[in-house]
Each structure stands twice: as structure tokens, then as C-alpha cells.
Amino acid sequence: MRVTCHECALRACGLFKSVTAEELNSINAIKRDHLSAPAGAEIVRVGDDSPELYTLYSGWAFRFKTLPDGRRQILNFLLPGDLLGLQAAMFDAALHGIEALTEVQLCVLPRRQIWALFGQMPGLAFDVTWLGAREEGFVDENLTSVGRRSAVERVAALIVALYKRAEVLGLVADATFAFPLTQQHIADALGLSLVHTNKTLARLRRMGMFTRANGSLTLTNPRVLERIAQHFDDELPRRPLI
Amino acid sequence: MRVTCHECALRACGLFKSVTAEELNSINAIKRDHLSAPAGAEIVRVGDDSPELYTLYSGWAFRFKTLPDGRRQILNFLLPGDLLGLQAAMFDAALHGIEALTEVQLCVLPRRQIWALFGQMPGLAFDVTWLGAREEGFVDENLTSVGRRSAVERVAALIVALYKRAEVLGLVADATFAFPLTQQHIADALGLSLVHTNKTLARLRRMGMFTRANGSLTLTNPRVLERIAQHFDDELPRRPLI
DNA sequence: CGAAACGTTGATATCCTTCAACATGAGTGG
DNA sequence: CCACTCATGTTGAAGGATATCAACGTTTCG
């Protein structure tokens, strides 16, 4: 039972720009496989030297780096519609790992053919570049959290950001969405220790910001949570003029 | 005195893939301007809604975000050959600022025409995507520093990284290169306070890792500095080295 | 010369880490 | 059904890395 690009659920969300039928056929022609991996699977291993390009069709994953002594930094989280392995495909070697958070389904796009398609389908080239820029934006956002926000602000910002991304994908109902991260994942994404992450989460929970039940998270006070997160989307930021 | 793309100093460094004469003409045709800005100039302002795409021809710059209360995070540093404003051009609005660190010279590429060129020159599309992925790699690296490395490790990692980038561009002579960052820039890039950044720099200087003189930085012990950058080894002196 | 930007240093405060212990739930085999 | 283990989550206490505060030094430049 092969899923073709024509019936791709992701297109239905309006994630991609509209494409012509011809373009869709081209993509579908090179799509090599539609495979799935269990939670915890290593999708891209650091140092991988013949990486393919993937589209995350369903499930969650994350990109990460590991220091020689084992300290791990999660760079960002990947949700349906995201491109996996763009850097790896560009550099012929992966500089970071990618691991599945949940069971995932992936579309495999042989990268050599992708570059070839750039010539025939400028729109595709644009989309790939766009997705890359968008991902960099997420990393920027997370770097700002880790570098300049307090622990509470970081946790709040992460939850709000993931909530918003899930919302766009139609994964939110009743302010509730599936939240597959363990506290260790949150700690590694935010540059915090596990213990402090736990205490910070407990604090926000006691403040009535959210609740968790069987793998789902519910925002019980989105407005305040967003304010705690210190989001800059609201107003144009300025430096103090002393 | 208009500099054309044919005589571009950057091409000489082998930064770009080789292009055909025809492709070069196309690029040169749309290159709109070659302008310069003084140190401290805001090249891209947050919220800018008609941003152009730039190539940094000479000088240094940096991308940054600012929180509502003025805390600033520097996302990465930009050296000659880097693309400026890719995110902004993609999203029709800048989510971060870009400021000149030194006097800079910029090539202005009207973004609408760039997308149009994607169709005629798939190689250009590839280069743009490649530069985007490379920049994301830098942000990844910095996020790992800020999230999981100690202050000494972070400073060492930053200096080593900038040194290596300068080296590729031929800006290093005798282990020395122009280093236009103030301690405030370093602090904002590494998520540290100004005071602690100062003390950490002093410590590395006392350890004989580098020296500074009139705007230049010299690595006096690259091997050890690099080892510190990866992971601050416990066998190395940790105590204050008065 | 004076002002402003940048750098330096010590003292004190605090946020976060580390250590340690225990709780809870899922899976597994006896 | 129980005992066991392993992953995950929770909580208190103590220590440390970094922040903040305050003062002064140094350079640059009009």
C-alpha cells in the first residue's frame, strides 16, 4: 500500500505552496520509499556519509549534538512536514544526529535526484530553501531562549512554541495536544539540568499554566504562559538607551 | 567605479562552485548595487518588511535577537562570502536584526529576481540553499556551546571557530587575525554576563592561549585551546592562575 | 581636556547544578 | 500474581558556576 504524493496528507494542510499536477508527478516519481521507524530510532547518525533527504510524514523527531563526554544538546524538534537531513545532504556528512521521538513515517527523497529537479522545478528549490530558513529560525529562537532567558521563561517559551506548531498542523483540540517529550528531552533542549527542569515544570504546573495526562499536554492559561515566555513577536523590541 | 561579479574577490577564494561565464553574466546583470556601511550600522532591522538579499563582500557583521526588556542574543557572526537576510527575504519580514561590526561592503541582490534566477540557474539555487544550511550549522554549534559548555569552553570554542573561518578566507597571518568583537559582543553571543566574560577571557589569556593587540587576536596555543573548546579537560588547571 | 566607550577587578548574591533518596508505572519472567 | 528491573518523575539539601553590584582604569576622540 504505497502512499503517493498525490494523496499526501501534508499537502492538505496548505503547508506547501500549490504545485501543478506535472510538478506533483515529478516529485512522486523520485520519491523512493515511504518507511517507518519506531520511537527512539536513529534516523541520521553523526558522521553518516551517504545520507538521504527525508520528509517527516508523521510523528515527532529531534536533531541533536553530543559532546565527547556525553553532554547532549537538542537543537530543535521536528514535526510533520519538516525536512530531515538537509544539512547532511548538503555536506555529504551529518554533523548532528536525528532521533525519532515517536513512531515516525518518512518519505525518502534521493538527494541526487532532488538537486536534478531543482533545474526543472524552481518552485521545489524555493520550498527546500524556505524549509531550511524556517528551521534556522527555530534554532535561532531556541538559542535566544538558552542564552538569554531564565529557566521558567525557557520552559514556557518551548511549550508555547511547540503548541503553536502543533496547532498549525491541526494536532490541537481543546487546547490539548500529544506531547511525547520526556523531562530529559526538555532539559537537553533548554540547556538545563534534569532536576531543575523538573522543578521548573512543577512550578508552572502549580501556577495553573498546564496539565499533563497520558502523553498529552493541555494549556490551561495560554495568555499568561505566553507572557512568561517573553515573546518578541508581540512588540518591536528595543535596547535600553541607558 | 562599479565592481562587477567577474572581478569579485570572493570567487577567487574558491568559496563558490565554479560557474559558467553565462551564469556569471546573469548574476552580474541583477546585482543592483555595491554599497558600504560603517561599523555599527543596522543592515537589517527587525520587522523590516521589504528586505533585500545581500552578500557580504568585506567586513564583519552579526545577526541578533532582542527580548522586550533589552536582553540581546547574538545568533552568529557573518564574514565575507556569507549571505545576509535570507530568512528575511523568505518570510517577507525580518525576525532578527543584522548589524555591521566593522565597515562592510555589500552586494545587493533584489530578491524577486533571485527567485526568478532559480529557474535558469539551478546551480545558484543550490548555492543559496548550501549557504543557508551552512549558516544553520554555525547556529547549531553555538547553541551547543551555550546550552552545554562551561564559560571557558564557550569562549575557547568561539575563538577557535572564528579563527578557522578567518583562516579559510585568507585573513590569518602568523596565527593572527583582525578581531573586531568587544567583550559585550562575546558575552551576548555566548549567553554570559559581561563581567564573567571578561574574567573568563583573562583566565584564558593568563593560561597563554592568546594575546590581543590593536584589534587583532593571536592564538599562542591553538592545540590546547582547541582541546579546551571541545571539552574542558580536568587535567588542565582549573583554579585561578594568579 | 572632558566625555564616552570599553575593559578590569573584588565582593556579594542567586540561579542552577549536583548529590542522594524515594516514588511511580510499565514490562518481564518466574 | 508477585518480584524484579528499568525508565521516568519528584523532592530536599548543599555546593558551585555565573550574575549582579560597584568602583576604578584605559583608550579614543571631538
The residue count of chain B comes to 242
Q: Out of A73, A129, A232, whose CB is closest to B132? A: A129
Which of chain A's residues have a Cβ under 8 Å away from the Cβ of B148?
A: 67, 71-73, 191
Mean pLDDT of chain A, nearest integer? 86
Are A167 and A119 in contact by the 8 Å Cβ rule? The answer is: no
What is the reported pLDDT for A90? 86
Are A102 and A59 in contact by the 8 Å Cβ rule? The answer is: yes
Residue B203 distance to chain A (closest CA, Å): 22
Q: How many helices (H) and strands (E) does chain B have?
A: 9, 11
What is the reported pLDDT for B97? 95
Grouping H, G, I as helix, E, B as strand and the rest as coil, residue B22 is helix
Q: How far is the CA of A195 from the C1' of C20 (A)?
A: 12
* Across all strands, nucleotide nearest A206 (CA–C1'): D10
C-alpha cell recorded at residue A37 = 521507524
Is the model more confident about A107 or about B6?
A: A107
Largest CA distance in chain A: 65
Q: Out of B95, B126, B129, whose CB is closest to A137? A: B95
Measured distance CA(A51)–CA(A36) in Å, rounded: 17
Q: How far is the CA of A66 from the C1' of D16 (A)?
A: 24
Are B109 and A64 in contact by the 8 Å Cβ rule? The answer is: no
How confident is the model over B193-205, as a mean pLDDT?
98
Q: pLDDT band for B18, please (50, 70, 90 cuts).
A: low
What is the reported pLDDT for B11? 58
Three-class SS of chain A: CCCCHHHCHHHHCCCCCCCCHHHHHHHHHHCCEEEEECCCCEEECCCCCCCCEEEEEECCEEEEEECCCCCEEEEEEECCCCEECHHHHHHCCCCCEEEECCCEEEEEECHHHHHHHHHHCHHHHHHHHHHHHHHHHHHHHHHHHHHHCCHHHHHHHHHHHHHHHHHHCCCCECCEEECCCCHHHHHHHHCCCHHHHHHHHHHHHHCCCEEEECCEEEECCHHHHHHHHCCCCCCCCCCCCC
The neighbouring-strand residues paired with A220 are none
Chain C positions within 7 A of any protein Cβ atom are 5-11, 15-20
| Sheet with B210-213: strands ordered across | B176-178, B216-219, B210-213
B3, pLDDT greater than 70: no
Q: To 10 degrees, what angle do helices B122-148 and B21-30 make? A: 70
B17, pLDDT greater than 90: no
Which of chain B's residues have a Cβ under 8 Å away from the Cβ of A132?
A: 129, 132-133, 136
Smallest Cα–Cα separation from A62: which of A236, A220, A212, A189?
Answer: A189
What is the end-to-end Cα distance of chain B in Å, rounded?
Answer: 54
Lowest mean pLDDT across A125-129, B69-73, B234-238: B234-238
Q: Which amino acid is at A94?
A: A
A197-227 pLDDT tens trace: 999 999 999 999 999 998 999 999 999 999 9
A120-179 pLDDT tens trace: 887 888 888 989 999 999 999 999 999 999 999 999 999 999 999 999 899 999 999 999
A53, pLDDT greater than 60: yes
C-alpha cell recorded at residue A52 = 538521504
Mean pLDDT of chain B, nearest integer? 86
A 10 A CB-CB count for A201 gives: 20
A19-34 pLDDT tens trace: 667 667 777 766 677 8
Domains annotated on chain B, with CATH:
5-144 (2.60.120.10), 150-230 (1.10.10.10)
Q: Which residue of B has its CA nearest to A63?
A: B140
